[in-house]
Structure 1
Amino acid sequence: MKPQITTLHSLAGLRSALRRLAHRAGLSVELRYRLALSATRVAGAELAAGRPVLLESVPPQPRDPGADDRAGGGTVGDRPDGPAGPGGPEEGRLIVRLHLPHAPRRPSLEGLPLPAERLPGTTAVWRVPVPLPSAGGDAGRDDPPGLVDLLEEELSAAVDRADALAEDHQRLKHELAETNSGVLALYVQLEERDEQLRQAHGRILRQLEDALRPPPVRVPGLEMAVHYEPAEKHAPTGGDLYDWFVLPDGTVHITVVDALGHGLTSTRSALNVTHAVRTLALEGHPLESLIARTDEVLATFDHELMATVQLVRLDPAGGHLVLANGSHPPALLVRADGESSLLEVRGRGIGFPLPGSERLLYDRLDPGDLLVLYTDGLTESRRDPREGEQRLALAARRHRHRPIEDVPAAIAADMHTVILHPDDTVALTVRRVPG
Structure 2
Amino acid sequence: MRAQSTTCRSLDELRTTLRRAAHRAGVEPDLRSRLVLSASRLAAADLAAGRAVSLEVVPPPRGTGADLAVRLSLPGRAEPPSDLDALPLPALPAPAGAAWTVPLPDPGAARRPAAEPGGDRPDPVALLEEETAFLTERLDRLDREHQRLKDELAETNSGVLALYVQLEERDEQLRKAHGRMLRQLEDALRPPPVEVPGLEMAVRYEPAESHAPTGGDLYDWFTLPDGTVHITLVDALGHGLTSTRGALNVTHAVRTLALEGHGLETLVARTADVLAAFDQELMATVQVVRIDPRTGELRLANGSHPPALLVRRDGATRFLEAAGRGVGFPLPGSEVLLRDRLDPGDLLVLYTDGLTESRRDPCEGEQRLAGAARRHRCLPVEEVPGALAEEMHTVILHPDDTVALVVRRARRAY
1:130 aligned onto 2:107:
no
Residue in structure 2 matched with residue 13 of structure 1 by the alignment: 13
Residue in structure 1 matched with residue 134 of structure 2 by the alignment: 157
Map of 1:232-381 to 2, 5 A cutoff? 232-381=209-358
Q: In structure 2, how many angstroms separate the alpha carbons of the residues matched to 1:17 and 1:272? A: 99
Residue in structure 2 matched with residue 115 of structure 1 by the alignment: 90
Q: Which amino acid aligns with 1:22?
A: A
In terms of mean alpha carbon deviation, does 414-423 or 155-164 score higher? Answer: 414-423
Q: In structure 1, how many angstroms separate the alpha carbons of the residues matched to 2:154 and 2:396? A: 45
Q: Which amino acid aligns with 1:111?
A: A
From the superposition, tell whether residues 234 and 128 of structure 1 become closer, same or farther in structure 2 (CA, over 3 Å).
same
Give the TM-score normalised by the residue count of structure 1.
0.84
Residue in structure 2 matched with residue 30 of structure 1 by the alignment: 30
**Aligned partner of residue 238 in structure 2, secondary structure:** coil
Residue in structure 2 matched with residue 430 of structure 1 by the alignment: 407
1:42 aligned onto 2:16:
no
Say whether the 8 Å CA contact 1:90–1:132 is kept in structure 2. no
**Aligned partner of residue 162 in structure 1, secondary structure:** helix
TM-fit CA distance, 1:116: 2.2
Say whether the 8 Å CA contact 2:28–2:105 is kept in structure 1. no
From the superposition, tell whether residues 90 and 282 of structure 1 become closer, same or farther in structure 2 (CA, over 3 Å).
farther
Q: Which amino acid aligns with 1:402?
A: L
Residue of structure 1 aligned with 2:202, choices 225, 239, 242: 225
**Aligned partner of residue 149 in structure 2, secondary structure:** helix
Residue in structure 1 matched with residue 165 of structure 2 by the alignment: 188
From the superposition, tell whether residues 431 and 131 of structure 1 become closer, same or farther in structure 2 (CA, over 3 Å).
closer
| Aligned-CA RMSD value | 2.5
From the superposition, tell whether residues 393 and 17 of structure 1 become closer, same or farther in structure 2 (CA, over 3 Å).
same
Q: Which amino acid aligns with 1:126?
A: W
> CA-to-partner distance for each residue in 1:305-348, whole Å, 9 max, x for gaps?
33222121223333222222222221100112211101122333
Residue in structure 1 matched with residue 55 of structure 2 by the alignment: 55
TM-fit CA distance, 1:367: 2.2
1:401 aligned onto 2:378:
yes
From the superposition, tell whether residues 168 and 285 of structure 1 become closer, same or farther in structure 2 (CA, over 3 Å).
same
**Aligned partner of residue 227 in structure 2, secondary structure:** coil
Q: Which amino acid aligns with 2:26?
A: G
Map of 1:61-210 to 2, 5 A cutoff? 61=61, 91-107=65-81, 108-119=83-94, 121-131=95-105, 142-210=119-187
Q: In structure 1, how many angstroms separate the alpha carbons of the residues matched to 2:49 and 2:255? A: 104
Q: Which amino acid aligns with 1:114?
A: L
Say whether the 8 Å CA contact 1:224–1:431 is kept in structure 2. yes
Q: In structure 2, how many angstroms separate the alpha carbons of the residues matched to 1:347 and 1:44? A: 100
Counting matched residue pairs gives: 403
**Aligned partner of residue 15 in structure 1, secondary structure:** helix
TM-fit CA distance, 1:24: 0.3
Give the TM-score normalised by the residue count of structure 2.
0.88
Say whether the 8 Å CA contact 1:379–1:392 is kept in structure 2. yes
From the superposition, tell whether residues 335 and 132 of structure 1 become closer, same or farther in structure 2 (CA, over 3 Å).
closer
Q: In structure 2, how many angstroms separate the alpha carbons of the residues matched to 1:109 and 1:366? A: 102
Q: In structure 2, how many angstroms separate the alpha carbons of the residues matched to 1:273 and 1:42? A: 91
> CA-to-partner distance for each residue in 1:105-151, whole Å, 9 max, x for gaps?
331212222232334x34422222224757xxxxx994242111111
Q: Which amino acid aligns with 1:61?
A: P
**Aligned partner of residue 151 in structure 1, secondary structure:** helix
TM-fit CA distance, 1:390: 2.0
Residue in structure 1 matched with residue 111 of structure 2 by the alignment: none
> CA-to-partner distance for each residue in 1:255-280, whole Å, 9 max, x for gaps?
11122222222222221221122223
TM-fit CA distance, 1:301: 3.0
Say whether the 8 Å CA contact 2:296–2:341 is kept in structure 1. yes
In terms of mean alpha carbon deviation, does 352-361 or 366-375 score higher? Answer: 352-361
Q: In structure 2, how many angstroms separate the alpha carbons of the residues matched to 1:247 and 1:415? A: 33
From the superposition, tell whether residues 105 and 277 of structure 1 become closer, same or farther in structure 2 (CA, over 3 Å).
farther
From the superposition, tell whether residues 271 and 48 of structure 1 become closer, same or farther in structure 2 (CA, over 3 Å).
farther
Q: In structure 1, how many angstroms separate the alpha carbons of the residues matched to 2:408 and 2:353? A: 21
> CA-to-partner distance for each residue in 1:203-240, whole Å, 9 max, x for gaps?
11111101111112223332222122223444322221
In terms of mean alpha carbon deviation, does 97-106 or 255-264 score higher? Answer: 97-106
From the superposition, tell whether residues 358 and 110 of structure 1 become closer, same or farther in structure 2 (CA, over 3 Å).
farther
Q: In structure 1, how many angstroms separate the alpha carbons of the residues matched to 2:150 and 2:301? A: 73
From the superposition, tell whether residues 225 and 96 of structure 1 become closer, same or farther in structure 2 (CA, over 3 Å).
same
Q: In structure 2, how many angstroms separate the alpha carbons of the residues matched to 1:206 and 1:196? A: 15
From the superposition, tell whether residues 48 and 362 of structure 1 become closer, same or farther in structure 2 (CA, over 3 Å).
farther
From the superposition, tell whether residues 330 and 24 of structure 1 become closer, same or farther in structure 2 (CA, over 3 Å).
same
Say whether the 8 Å CA contact 1:209–1:237 is kept in structure 2. yes
Q: Which amino acid aligns with 1:224?
A: M
